[in-house]
Chains A and B, each alone.
Chain A
C-alpha cells in the first residue's frame, strides 16, 4: 500500500516537469505554427494552400497599420520604462523603511485586480465627466458642464499608458520583492552608507544590478504584455487608429474570411513589434549600465536624495490610490440612481442595477469560477510537484527553467492565441470548456510558479533533514512538514493564479468564441455600451472575485493553525 503509493507519487513527480514544460511550451509552439502557416497563405481548412506573401502585402496596405504598430511599440516601451523606473527608484529610496514594509501588504491585492476593472475605474475617475472633475466642479473649475477635453482615448495613448503603468507597478514590485532576499541589500546599504553615498544612490549602484538580473524576464514580460494588450487598449486606448493588437482582433472577427489570413500575417507583425521593443530595451539596458558605470567612476555621492524619495513615493501612492479609488467609484456607479454632472454623488442610490444584472450573471459567474478553480488547482499541483522533484533530485534547472516558465508571458497573446483558435477549430474542440480550461492553465501556471518558487526554495532544508533523521520518508516529510509550513505561500500563489484566470480577456474571447462568457468578457463587451451602472456591477464583481480568493488564502491557514503559535503569519 505504502509502496504503491510511493511508486505512484514518484511517477507523478517524475512526469510533472515534463508535463509542465509541455503546457508552457506546447501551446505557444502550436499556436505560433498555426499563425505562421495561414500568414503565408497555407490553411487547407479555409481553402488556401499556395504559399505567398500577399497577406503581408494586404497588411502593409491596410490603412493606419503603420501608425498602429508604432503606437503599440512606443506605448509598450514607455509603459515598461516608466513603471520600472518608478519601482526602481522607490525600492532604492525606501528599502528597509517602515513605509516600505507597510506598502508590501497592498501589493498582492492590487496585483489581483484584473486589468479591465482597473482600466474602467481609471476611466470613471479621470474622464472629463469623471469623478475628479465632479469633485472640482463647479467649485474650483467653475464648470457646470464637462470640458471638451480628449482625456480618454487620446491619440497618443497617454491614458492607456497611465492605466498600464499603474497596473504593472504592483507586478514589478512583487517580483522585485521576491528577488531582494537573494541580494545582500541591507549590508550593501550599510557599506555604501559608510562610504558616504546617499540611500538611493547606494542601493542603485550596489544592489539594483543584482535585483535587475533576477527580474529581467519579468521586465520583458511587461514589454510583451504592454505592446500587445487588447482589453485595456479597448477601454482607454485611442481609436483612430487603435493599437495593432486591437486591430488584429477585429480582423480575426471580420465577416470576410480572407481577413483571417491578414490577421495571422498581422499577428506576426505584432510579434515583430514586440521583439523590436525588446531589442530596443536591450539598448536601454546598455545605456543604463553605462550611466551607472559613469556614476560609479565619478564617485558622486548623491547625498541629497529627498526629491527622489518624495517623487518615487508619490508616484507609487498615486498609482495605488488611483486604482483603489477607481474601484471605489465603480462600486458607487453600480448602485447609482440618476447622477448628473457636476454632482459629486448620485441623487439617489438603488439596488435595481444589481437586480437587473443578477438573472444574467449566473452563467458567466459559474464559468469564471469553475475555469479559475480548475486551472488554479492544476497549476498548484504541477508547481508543487515540480518544485518537490527539484528539491529531491537537487536539479534546479537554473535559468533555462525560468525561461520556460516565462515563455507564455514573453510571446504576445495575439500572436499565438489566434493560431490556437484555428488549431482548436480544426480539432473540433473550439468553444469547449476543456479548451478554455487549457488556455487559462497556460497563463495561470507561470504566475503560480513565479509566486510559489521563491518561498518554496527559501524553506530551511534542515527541517527535512530532521524529519528524515526521525525516519520519515520523502512523501511523509512533504505532507506533514513542508506543505503545512508552506501552506500560506501556496494559497497566496493559488490566489494569484485564480486572479490571473479571472482577468483573462483575449484567450477567453477567442477560445470561448462567445459561448463561454466570463465576468471579464461580459464586462469588456458591456464597455461598448458605456452604461456605467452595468459596467460598475460587472467590474465590481471582477475585482471582488480575486479579492475573495486572497481572503480565503489568508483565512484557511489562520483557521487551520489556530492553536499553533509559530505557524501564525509573521506580519
Chain B
C-alpha cells in the first residue's frame, strides 16, 4: 500500500517534471510575455570574445541593464577564440549532454556559425526574426544580415553589429609614398617602409580577414569564392595569395617572424610607433581608441577604393542551452535602438548598427543623430564598396596552408 502510493506519487512527480522540463526547454520567441516570465531569475552565460576592454565593458553594461529590467543575470565568458565555445557545445553533444549545456549565447559569425548550423548545434526553429525588436533590423539594405559568409542565417542567429575592414595610420608620422589603395599597393608600400606593417596570425579573426581580403583581391576567378572550396583547385586558385604573402613577409614587422596577437595589439603597436598602418573590422575603432587614450588624436582612417570585406556579426543560442529564454531576452535587448545606439558611440565601443534608422521612432532616431562618430571615422559614403565574405570552407584551407607555410618553423 505504502509502496504503491509512493510509486504513484513519484510517478506523478516524474510526469510533472518531464512535462515541466519540456515546457521549460522550449521558449517561443513569438510568445514574448511567456519568454519574459520564463527568463526571470535565469543566468545567461554569454560566450563572447574578450580581448577588448571596451567591448567587455559594453557587455557588462548590458548585463546590468538586463538584471535590473528583466531579472536576468548575464555572465560574460571571455573567449580568445569563438571556436572554443563551438568546441564546448560539440563536446557536450558527444557526451550526450543535450540539456543544461554550459553556453546560453555565443557571439558568432562565418565559419563557426556554418559549423554549428551544419552539425545541428543551434537552437531552432527560427527565433531571431520573431524577436520584438526584429522590426527595426535593416534586412532590406544589409544583405549580410540574412546571408552570413554565403550561409543563409534562417533566423538561427540574431544580428548584433556591422563590420567593415578599414585601415588606420598616424598623420603625424613621416611615411614614404602615398597610402596603399589595394593589397598589391600594400606590398610595394611595405618595400618602401619596411617593418611597419603586420597582421595577426590566423586563426585570429582579423588576421584571417586580412588574408581573405587579399585572396578576394588577388584571385583570378572571384566568383569561386562564393562556392565551397574544391580541394584540388585550391592550390592554383590561392597561388596569387601566397606569392603575394611571400613577397610581403620579409618587409613586415619583425620581418614576418612574429605577429601581433589581434587588432587591439596592433592598436598598441600603432600607438608605440612600431607599426605605421593597422586595420580593424570596425570603422570607428580608431576614434574609439583615441577616446580611450590608446591612440594619439592624429590617427586617421582610410580604405581601398576597390572595396574591403564587410560582414555582420551575430549572437546564437546552442541547442542545449540552459537559459534559452534569458538568452532570447538578451538577444532582443542587444537589438534595441537604445543598446544599438550606445554600441555605436565611439566613447563606448563604436560598432556600427544593423538597424535601419528610418524605421525608428523619432526619439530613437535622435539617439543616433546625437552620436559624434569621432574625428578618425570615415563617413558612410567614404567607406567604399563592400566585398562579400568567401564561403567558410575557404578560410579552413587558407588557415591550414598558412600554418604549413609560415607557422611550422621550417
Q: Report whether chain A binds chain B.
A: yes
Interface residues of A (CB under 8 A from B): 45-47, 63-64, 67-68, 71, 128-129, 144-146, 148-150, 152-155, 238-241, 253-257, 260, 336-338, 340-341, 348, 350, 356-357, 359-360, 363, 425-426, 428, 430-431, 513-515, 517, 522, 525-534
Given A148-B254, A150-B257, A431-B102, CB of A63 within 8 Å of CB of B407? yes
B94 at the binding interface (Cβ < 8 Å): yes
The listed residue (A68, A515, A527, A532) touching B261 by CB distance below 8 A is: A527
Main SS of chain A's interface residues? loop
Asked whether, in the complex, the Cβ of A529 is within 8 Å of the Cβ of B51, the reply is yes
Min CB gap A274→B, angstroms: 20
Q: Which residues of A contact B56 (CB under 8 A)?
A: 360
A532/B268 in contact, CB under 8 A: yes
User: A253: which B residues are within 8 A, CB to CB?
Assistant: 81, 83-84, 87
In the bound complex, residues from chain B placing their C-beta under 8 Å from that of A260 are: 91
Q: A148-B255, A525-B50 are in contact. List 18 more A-B contacts (CB 8 A).
A: A45-B95, A63-B407, A64-B403, A67-B410, A68-B409, A71-B409, A129-B269, A149-B254, A153-B258, A254-B87, A256-B87, A338-B294, A340-B272, A341-B273, A360-B76, A426-B95, A514-B47, A515-B75
Q: Are A531 and B294 neighbours in the complex by a CB distance under 8 Å?
A: yes
* Contact across chains for A129 and B95 when beta carbons are under 8 A apart: no
Q: Mark B73-94, 1 if CB is under 8 A from A, else 0.
A: 0011111110110111011001
Docked-complex contact A531 and B268, CB < 8 angstroms: yes
B356 within 8 A of A: no
Q: Please, which residue of chain A has its CB at the minimum distance from the CB of B97? A: A428
A116 → B minimal CB distance (Å): 14
| Nearest chain A residue, comparing its CB with the CB of B404 | A63
* A241, B91: Cβ atoms closer than 8 Å: no
Shortest CB distance B183–A (Å): 21
Q: Are A148 and B272 in contact (CB under 8 A)?
A: no
CB of A149 to closest CB in B, whole Å: 8
**Residues in B neighbouring A348, C-beta threshold 8 A:** 293
Asked if A145 contacts B273 (CB within 8 A), the reply is: yes
A356 close to B78 (CB less than 8 A):
no
- The answer to whether A148 and B407 touch (CB under 8 A), given A257-B90, A350-B293, A525-B50, is no
Q: For the side of the interface on B, what is the size category?
A: 35 or more
Closest chain A residue to B401 by CB distance?
A: A63
Q: Are B57 and A240 in contact (CB under 8 A)?
A: no
Which residue of the partner chain, among B50, B60, B115, B407, contacts A240 with CB atoms under 8 Å? B407
User: How far is the CB of B95 from the nearest CB of chain A, in Å?
Assistant: 5
Least CB distance from A535 to B in Å reads 10
The smallest beta-carbon distance between B117 and chain A, in angstroms, is 13
Cα of A567 to Cα of B15 in the assembled complex, Å = 67
Given contacts A340-B271, A341-B273, contact A255 B87 (CB under 8 A): yes
Contact A363:B75 (CB < 8 A) given known A255-B112, A529-B53: yes
Check: B201 CB closer than 8 A to any chain A CB: yes
Asked if B234 CB lies within 8 Å of chain A CBs, one says no
Is B305 in the interface zone, CB < 8 Å from A? no
19 pairs, A vs B, C-beta closer than 8 Å: A64-B409, A67-B410, A145-B273, A148-B194, A148-B195, A148-B253, A153-B258, A240-B407, A255-B90, A341-B273, A359-B57, A359-B64, A425-B95, A514-B47, A515-B75, A517-B77, A527-B261, A529-B261, A530-B260
Quick one: which of A68, A239, A426, A526 contacts B51, CB cutoff 8 A?
Answer: A526
Q: Is the CB of B115 within 8 A of A255?
A: yes
B window 130-148: CB within 8 A of A: none
Contacting A146 at CB < 8 Å: which of B51, B266, B274?
A: B274
B264 at the A/B interface (Cβ < 8 Å)? yes
Task: For the complex formed, measure the closest distance between the CB of A123 and the CB atoms of chain B, giving whole angstroms.
Answer: 12
What residues of A have a CB within 8 angstroms of the CB of B97 in the complex? Answer: 428
Specify the chain A residue showing the minimal Cβ separation from B173. Answer: A145
- Please report the C-alpha to C-alpha distance between residue A104 and residue B96 in the assembled complex, in whole angstroms: 54
Q: Which 4 A-B pairs have the closest CB atoms?
A: A530-B265, A64-B408, A67-B409, A148-B195
Chain A residues positioned under 8 Å from B94 (CB to CB): 45-47, 257
Are B264 and A529 in contact, CB atoms less than 8 angstroms apart? yes
Known: A146-B274, A152-B258. A239 touches B53 (CB 8 A): no
Please state if B51 and A255 are interface contacts (CB–CB under 8 Å).
no
A75 to chain B, nearest CB (A): 13
Residues of A within 8 A of B47 (CB): 514
Give the shortest distance, in Å, between B106 (CB) and chain A (any CB): 11
A239 near B201 (CB under 8 angstroms)?
yes
Q: Is the CB of B83 within 8 A of A255?
A: yes
Contact flags B389-410 to A (C-beta < 8 A → 1, else 0): 0000000000000011011111
Question: Which residues of B sit under 8 angstroms from A155, Cβ to Cβ?
Answer: 257-258, 409
Contact indicator B264/A338 (Cβ below 8 Å) = no
- Asked, given contacts A128-B274, A150-B258, whether A515 binds B293 with beta carbons under 8 Å apart, the answer is no
B51 engages A240 (CB within 8 Å): no
Residue of A240, A256, A341 near B272 (CB, 8 A) is: A341
Interface centre among B52, B264, B407 (most CB of A within 10 A): B407
Residues of B within 8 A of A350 (CB): 293
Q: Does B240 contact A (CB under 8 A)?
A: no
Q: A64-B403, A239-B407, A528-B261 are in contact. Are A46 and B95 (CB under 8 A)?
A: yes
Please name all residues of chain A whose beta carbon is closer than 8 Å to the beta carbon of B409 when the two chains form the complex. 64, 67-68, 71, 155, 240-241
The residues of A that contact B78 with a CB separation of less than 8 Å are: 514, 517, 522, 525-526
Closest residue of chain A to B54 (Cβ to Cβ) is: A356
Chain B residues whose C-beta falls within 8 Å of the C-beta of A46 in the assembled complex: 91, 94-95
Docked CA distance A173–B87 (Å): 42
A425 and B91 within 8 A (CB): yes
B408 touching A257, Cβ below 8 Å: no
B91 to A239, Cβ gap below 8 A?
A: no
Name B121's closest neighbour in chain A (CB-CB).
Answer: A255
Contact check, B91 vs A515: say whether CB atoms are below 8 A apart: no
Determine the distance from Cα of A527 to Cα of B403 in the docked complex, in whole angstroms. 22
B267 CB–A CB distance under 8 Å: yes
Tell me the smallest distance from the CB of A373 to a CB of chain B, in Å: 22
Complex-state Cα separation, A256 to B400, whole angstroms: 14
How far is the CB of A559 from the nearest CB of chain B, in Å?
39
- Give the chain A neighbours of B294 by CB distance below 8 A: 338, 531, 533
Complex: chain A residue closest to B77, CB-CB: A514
Contact flags (1/0) for B5-29 with A, using CB distance below 8 Å?
0000000000000000000000000
B64 to chain A, nearest CB (A): 8
A341 to B270 Cα, complex, angstroms: 10
Tell me, yes or no, whether B180 is within 8 Å of chain A by CB: no
Q: Which chain B residues numbered 216 to 254 have a C-beta less than 8 Å away from chain A?
A: 253-254
- Bound form: Cα–Cα A131–B371 in Å: 37
B102 touches A513 (CB 8 A): yes
B45 within 8 A of A: yes
Bound Cα distance A144, B95 (Å): 57
What chain B residues lie within 8 Å of A430 (beta carbons)?
A: 102
| Selected contact of B264 from candidates A336, A363, A530, CB within 8 Å | A530
Contacts of B273 in A (CB 8 A): 129, 144-146, 340-341
How close is A493's CB to chain B, nearest CB, in angstroms? 33
Given A146-B272, A253-B84, A255-B87; A359-B60 close (CB under 8 Å)? yes
For residue B121, give the distance in angstroms from its CB to the closest CB of chain A.
10
Which of B50, B86, B194, B404 lies in contact with A526, CB distance below 8 A? Answer: B50
Select one of B75, B80, B272 contacting A528, CB under 8 A.
Answer: B80
The answer for the CA separation of A348 and B410 in the assembled complex, in Å, is: 45
Chain B residues near A241 (CB-CB < 8 A): 407-409
Nearest chain B CB to A473 CB, angstrom units:
50
Q: Is B353 an interface residue (CB 8 A)?
A: no
Measured CB to CB, the closest approach of chain A to B280, in angstroms, equals: 13
Closest to A146 in B: B274
Chain B residues near A254: list those with CB within 8 A: 83, 87
Among B38-53, those with CB < 8 Å from A are 45, 47, 50-53
Write the nearest CB–CB distance from A178 to chain B, whole angstroms: 38
Residues of chain B contacted by A532 (CB below 8 angstroms) = 268
Most chain B CB neighbours (cut-off 10 Å) among A240, A241, A348: A240
> Once the chains are docked, how many angstroms separate the CA of A28 from the CA of B96?
26
Query: What's the Cα separation between A257 and B121 when bound, in Å?
Result: 13
* Contact B115 A360, beta carbon cutoff 8 Å: no
A360–B260 alpha-carbon span in the complex (Å): 26
